[in-house]
Structure 1
Amino acid sequence: MITPSESAPSARRRSEKSRRATLSAALGLCTEHGYDKVTIEAIAARAGVSKKTIYRWWPTKGAVLLDAVTELAVSDTPFPDTGDIEADLRAHIASVVNLLNSRVAGAAYTGILSEVLHDERLARAVNDELVIPRVTLIHERMRQAQEQGQLPKDADLPLAVEMLYGPLYYRYALGRPLPSQERVDALVAHVMRALRASGSS
């Protein structure tokens, strides 16, 4: 016998379906028309949800797109652990480059970064929801390598993380080509040499 709870989708399931439709619609519109031309009205129409539903979860279109980009970052820029920290960093940084180069995430993230300059609330959200959690994870991966003896015990890991990500965002913010795989490998090798040299000194 099928109970009412089994025969009808739960509110949570309906909400998640609407949420995912909203994120997909926002990314699609941003890719097709550019960040500036995306509106909450357009997102709602494409997603098949009401504006009220969107505003229940997100205060602005920037917040919607940040949620979508954060999900892409989590799924597309993993932190591998093969036991070789240098190889793992090469793979991770390359995945970040690929994400920033992608039409879908790239268009949305470019718009978000331009908006944080005059939207303090969105700027805080970018740091709290995207930057700090991702930085924390790469720092943790490097700390594990430190415990395994692959990095010096006194290596400055927060600085190393900035050295790895900094060149990517410098180029991205200025609209310059992001590094090739060869340049990513060179960047990681340079940072690793700097860490090991600081430890030996």
Structure 2
Amino acid sequence: MTKAAGPSRRSERSRVAILRAALELCREQGFGGVTIEKIAARAGVGKPTIYRWWSSKHAVILDAFMEHIATELSFPETGDHLEDLRGWLHSVARVLAESSMGPLIAGVVGAAQYDPALAAEFHQRVYLPTRQTTIARIRRIQDEGRLPDLSPDTLADLITGPIWFRLLVAGDPPGPDYVDTVLAAVASQRFPASAGGEALQ
């Protein structure tokens, strides 16, 4: 006789099914076409099960997005801070170049321009943690004299901005060679002492 799964196991199975369903629906229908009802139907759960863990479809989709890319976008720690930054940027470019993830990320960013709730979730859970980690790494590289003496906040814009421009505006996610070119160009420049704004605290 097969022993029935306990509540915690059933809950985890439902959680995984919900996150998988949210990602699948985003890929198939775009962010705007996804609803809690569709996620529940695809995952084989009731809407109350979803609302027990998440307040909105935004929260579900961001959880699904973050869980899917968490291991791929973690900062390496080898002791060579510049190479760690390069490796992280390569992983960002690799994720953006995926046929399923690039359009999904672009769709979430685009939808956030018209959806204050999604914008707030994305800012707090995706942008700020990534930005703070990037700036902390840039400061370490500056301490080693391997990046210009410029506001770390501005350097983060110069290094990561072109990657997002290529995805969101040009529709052409960059590859590792492009990332290396941007990083080398920024690292080789000498800027006026007054250039840049205040660093992110």
Q: CA RMSD in A?
A: 2.6
- Alignment pair present for 1:31 and 2:27: yes
Identify the residue that residue 158 of structure 2 maps to in structure 1: 163
Unpaired runs of 5+ residues, structure 1, are 1-6
Amino acid at match of 1:127: H
The Cα shift of 1:9 comes to: 2.9
Match for 1:110 among 103, 106, 112?
106
Match for 1:41 among 37, 41, 55?
37
Secondary structure of the 2:13 match is helix
Distance 1:71 1:173, change over 3 A: same
The Cα shift of 1:8 comes to: 5.9
Amino acid at match of 2:86: R
Distance 1:101 1:51, change over 3 A: same
The Cα shift of 1:179 comes to: 1.9
Match for 1:138 among 110, 117, 134?
134
- Is the 2:138–2:152 contact (alpha carbons within 8 Å) kept by the matching residues of 1? yes
- Alignment pair present for 1:77 and 2:70: no
Secondary structure of the 1:75 match is coil
Match for 1:192 among 159, 183, 187?
187
Match for 2:6 among 9, 15, 26?
9
Amino acid at match of 1:80: P
CA distance in 2, matches of 1:93, 1:137: 12
The Cα shift of 1:111 comes to: 2.2
- Alignment pair present for 1:129 and 2:131: no
- Alignment pair present for 1:176 and 2:176: no
Distance 1:31 1:75, change over 3 A: same
Amino acid at match of 1:92: W
Amino acid at match of 1:164: I
Deviations for 1:119-178, whole angstroms, at most 9, x for unmatched residues? 11110110100010011112222233344x244694421111111111122222224212
CA distance in 2, matches of 1:114, 1:59: 21
Deviations for 1:9-63, whole angstroms, at most 9, x for unmatched residues? 354x443332221111111122233333322222112212211121233333233
Which structure has greater helix proportion?
1
Aligned length: 191
Amino acid at match of 1:187: V
Amino acid at match of 2:43: A
Instruction: Write out the 4+ residue segments of structure 1 that deviate beyond 4 Å after TM superposition.
Output: 198-201
Distance 1:189 1:60, change over 3 A: same
TM-score, normalised to structure 1, is 0.81
CA distance in 1, matches of 2:192, 2:82: 16
TM-score, normalised to structure 2, is 0.81
- Is the 1:152–1:199 contact (alpha carbons within 8 Å) kept by the matching residues of 2? no
